[in-house]
Amino acid sequence: MSDPKPKDEEIEARAAEGDAGESPLERRPPKDLPEELVMGRLGRLDTRRALAELCKSVPGLDEVLLPRGIRADALTRKSGGGAALLRGVARRIAGDPAAWGAFRAAVQEQIPPETFEALGSLSGENLEEMAEAHTTEGLLLAALTTDEEQDPAVVGALTESWRLEKGAAQKKASEDAHVRDLEAELERLKGENERLSFASRAANERAAALAEEVDVLTGERSGASELVRKAEEQAASALDARGRLDERIAELERRGEQLERALEGERTAYARAAERVDELHEELGRVAAERDRIKNALQNARFTDDGFGELLVRAVKNEVGAMPASLDSAASTAHLLEFMGKVLQAQSDLRAPRTQATKPTEEEAEDPDPSPAPPPVVAPEVRANGSRNGGHARSRPTLSFRALGGAGEVGGSSHLLDFGSTRVLVDAGIKPDGRGPAAPNFGAIDRIDAAVITHAHLDHCGALPLLVRDRPGLPIYCTPPSAKLIVSALNDHAAMGGGLPGGAPIHEVRKRLVPVPFGKPLKIGDATVTLTESGHILGAASVLLQSGPATVFHTGDICMEDHFSIPSARLPDVKDIDLLIMEATLADQKPQPFSDSIRTMVETINETTMERERGGSVLIPTYALGQAQEIILGLKHYGKEYGLDRDVFIYVDGSVVTTSERLYAEQLGYMKPYLQHSDPREIFFSDNIRAVANDDNARERILTNPCAVIASPVTMQGGASAFYRRRLEVDPKNAVILPSNAAASYGAQRGEEAQWRVERVSFAAHCTQDELLGITKKLSPRQIILIHGSRRRISDLAFRLAPDHKIHTPTVGETVRTVL
């Protein structure tokens, strides 16, 4: 291939050609010249430089080719002067022959000669082959710019092929651009993703830090809440303690007032005692003077009736002469003179003439001159101070009280009251604690007319099998509820191995029981017996005995406080009682309402069973009769008010179950009015107060969860309560609540292995000191016999009663003989 000629020389050469045709710069452009083809070539810098050179070498070409005001140098810039300039140049090329010629000249320099040579062999058949060798655009530009005429069909085919390739190229370029855009967007998204990932990691780290901070704050909040809860609990405890302290202060103030009143009473009693001493000294002077007068009179006295009077005078002389001048001797002299007066009265009665005319005997009828009867000897009346005056002495009733048991102690109550013509035995109890003889020896008593049992506790009725054995035909009186409860108590006692050897069968005891309603008078010999409500347990009674002018009231176990199940004691409407036989079980204690004891039980149960998984259980040992029913009703009716946890179950076990379900339910008429119309099955039991089957496996099952158990017997020696004691006392998380007498018996038998919490409550249905003093004030007895209490408590009560009453404090085996 030859070197191309310089453009200016080539143009001049072409212009210098002869009549070969018109000049290359004057050839008109093809009609279908694709503007995109021209724009594509103008986009090449070499094409624009060639056009700029032509504009410089051919005068006027720049005016034809370029817009006005644009110089040819603008084409040599990299941008070509801008798209608008190039598009204007392209239009001029497509419409102006000179511009087209310049374009042809510029393009021909860029097309390889072989491409022009290939035009000679180009046809429709080898178009694709040629296009692959020289490019479609190169062939098309060669065909358009060559000086030789080309086949229009071939040019059209090349143009169409170029258009298709251009479209495909544009499409590919568009797709490539779109791909590049997508790739750029992808890169951007990747960058954004990395940024977001970093932000996400940072956010996660921040979230984790915040979560940790939240955990810390939550922990601090929980700790603060716990502190607040503890503070509230401490505040509540402080308020509760303050309330208890206020109650204690009020109680101490009341106690102070009571002590002040007691001190005032002691002062009054001391003043009375001092006055009484003065009176006794005066009485002593009078008695001594009277004794001297009687002594002088006796020295001159003579009786001729078989020496009776002389012997009597000698005896009195010797007795009076041997007495020293003292208060004791004065009292003895008074008794001696009273005795002598009775003897002289008897002698006078024997020697007195008959006041009614009687039919003479045969010997009297035959005696023509019977001697007159001697004149009567009138014995002087013996006054209370020992002096006598004329007339007959008033006969006063006497009573003998024999303490077979339950005197100076609690347990084994049995008292024989002898009115002379009538003997009544009140109670026949045993000593459950085993101290001393278990029961009295009823066979050693020569005569008993009847027995009265005050209530169904074993220390008052447990010896009935022995009494029935020794006195087979003896009537035994009690109230209707006690008649059933006594048989149940004896059966339960025998079932636990506590029966008395040699005693009569219990069914024989049941035959001897005679039910007597409250308030109905009962005649026993010369005495009238009336049973009144004592308020101790269901069916418990006090005994009012009246024989002639004498009135005796035996309280039995008595309680003036209102119960949950039964009415309180009702004292008889009798004035001027001669003798009051009164229990002294709680004679040194102050009242503690049953409701306070229930509150203490609720607090202990809640504190012990609070934690469901680690909480403990509570045992409440109790008497099966009376005490157990009061505790159950108290927890049932007042537990909610005092804050008893409703999720805690309270189980009832032992003889308490049968006593509550059957015996109490059969005696609704003797219970409080609000219980008399209740369903017997729902009186003592509810959803959370349930009975336990008499089986150790059942007992083991209920202990798997924290609970409270009310079980008999109160001593925890045998029976259901002994089982729970063995299971619970070794663990400090458990507790036992000891009501009243249970505390003393447990203290004596507590072993070293016992670790449980011990709480004590007052739940004994007995009168306290103030109530006992109130009973004596209302009944105004002349004399009092104190029984059923420790020696210390009896002595304390006797000291308080002594200024106004004559007090007897016998012990077991002693007999009190007194004039009523």
Strands (E), 473-617: 476-478, 513-515, 522-524, 527-533, 541-547, 550-554, 579-583
Q: What is the pLDDT of residues 732-770, one digit of tens each?
A: 999 999 987 666 666 556 666 788 999 998 878 899 999
Q: One-letter amino acid identity for 75?
A: L
Q: In this predicted model, what pLDDT tens digit does every residue of 356-378 receive, in sequence order?
A: 333 333 333 333 333 333 333 33
Secondary structure of 731-798 in HEC code, one letter for each residue: CCCCEEEEECHHHHHHHHHCCCCCCCEEEEECCCCCCEHHHHHHHHHHHCCCEEEEECCCHHHHHHHH
The number of beta carbons lying within 10 Å of the beta carbon of residue 6 is 13
pLDDT at 617 (0 to 100): 94
Model pLDDT, residue 177: 84
Residue 201: what pLDDT? 85
Cα–Cα–Cα angle for 37, 61, 34, rounded to 5 degrees: 15
Strands ordered across the beta sheet of 649-653: 689-691, 649-653, 707-711, 618-621, 735-739, 757-761
pLDDT of 504: 92
- Hey, what are 505's tokens? 């069968």
Q: What pLDDT is recorded for position 81?
A: 66
Stated as kind and residue range, the H or E segment containing 490 is helix 480-495
Question: For 185-227, what is the HEC assignment?
Answer: HHHHHHHHHHHHHHHHHHHHHHHHHHHHHHHHHHHHHHHHHHH
Q: Which of 156-165, 339-348, 533-542, 677-686 has the highest mean pLDDT?
A: 533-542
Asked if pLDDT for residue 583 goes beyond 60, the answer is yes
Q: Which of 486-500, 558-572, 650-664 has the highest mean pLDDT?
A: 558-572
Closest residue by Cα to residue 127 from 155, 94, 169: 155
Tokens of 54: 């032509």
Rounded to an integer, what distance in angstroms lies between the CA atom of residue 503 and that of residue 760? Answer: 36
For 209, residues 6+ apart whose C-beta sits below 8 A from its C-beta are none
| Residue 655 vs residues 137, 492, 718, 742: alpha-carbon distances, Å | 123, 7, 12, 17
- Region 20-24: mean pLDDT is 47
* Residue 402 confidence (pLDDT): 96
> Would you tell me how many other CB atoms lie within 10 Å of the CB of residue 105?
22
Classify domain 594-761 at the CATH topology level.
Rossmann fold (3.40.50)
More confident residue, 206 or 748: 206
Q: Would you say the C-alpha torsion 722, 723, 726, 728 has a positive or negative sign?
A: negative
**pLDDT at 55 > cutoff 90:** no
Q: pTM for the whole thing?
A: 0.54
In this prediction, residue 323 carries a pLDDT of 54
Residues 6+ apart with CB under 8 A from 186: none
**Mean pLDDT, the chain, whole residue set:** 79
**Residue 287 pLDDT class (50, 70, 90 cuts):** low
Backbone φ and ψ for 245, nearest 5 degrees, come out as -65, -40
**pLDDT of the residue at 453:** 98
For residue 321 the two structure tokens come to: 């002469």
Q: What are phi and psi of 194, to 5 degrees?
A: -65, -40
Would you state the pLDDT for residue 123?
76
The pLDDT score that the predictor gives to residue 14 is: 41
Structure tokens belonging to residue 308: 């009776």
Q: Is 382 helix (H, G, I), strand (E, B) or coil?
A: strand
Contact 378, 348 (CB under 8 A): yes
Q: Give the pLDDT confidence of 94-134 residue by residue, as tens digits.
A: 888 888 888 888 888 888 888 777 777 777 777 777 777 77
Rounding to the nearest 10 degrees, give the CA dihedral for residues 241, 242, 247, 251. 90
Residue 90 has pLDDT above 70, yes or no: yes
Q: Is the pLDDT of residue 195 over 50?
A: yes
Q: Please state, in angstroms and rounded to a whole number, the distance separating the CA atoms of residues 457 and 712.
A: 13
CATH second-level architecture of 403-589+768-819?
4-Layer Sandwich (3.60)
Give which of 706, 742, 556 is closest to 631, Cα–Cα: 742
Q: What is the pLDDT of residue 296?
A: 57
Q: Which amino acid is at 251?
A: E
Kindly state the tokens that stand for 194. Answer: 């990395």
What is the predicted pLDDT for the residue at 362?
35
Q: How many residues does the chain have?
A: 820
Span 612-635, mean pLDDT?
86
Q: What ranges do the domains of the chain cover? A: 403-589+768-819, 594-761
